[in-house]
Amino acid sequence: MTKADLITLVSERADFTKKDSEKAVSSVIDIITEALINGDKVSLVGFGTFEVKERAERIGHNPQTGESMKIAASKAPVFKAGTALKNAVNK
């Protein structure tokens, strides 16, 4: 499903115009992104949790040469599905 597909479904189910649905979907995505940038966790009960995990610096290997190389520390956004979402998917 693409963002455009999601906007279409929101407009149909919520009886919004496509323009209003696009604003709503974009706003939700922007708010979640801003929260993660600020180091906050976003929990949607029954759906799941978005958060940022710190990845430590580590040693990796270049697959072409086999040479060892240092991979810098980084942050990565992660999503952990909630129980209700897991149960719905596994039905």
For the chain, what is the radius of gyration of the CA atoms?
A: 19
Answer left, alpha or beta for residue 3, where phi above 0 means left and psi between -120 and 50 means alpha: alpha
In whole angstroms, how far apart are CA 52 and each of 12, 46, 75, 82?
Answer: 33, 19, 6, 16
Per-residue pLDDT at 31: 98
pLDDT level of residue 19 (50, 70, 90 thresholds)? very high
Per-residue pLDDT at 41: 97
For 63-88, what is each residue's pLDDT tens digit?
999 899 999 999 999 999 999 999 99
pLDDT level of residue 30 (50, 70, 90 thresholds)? very high
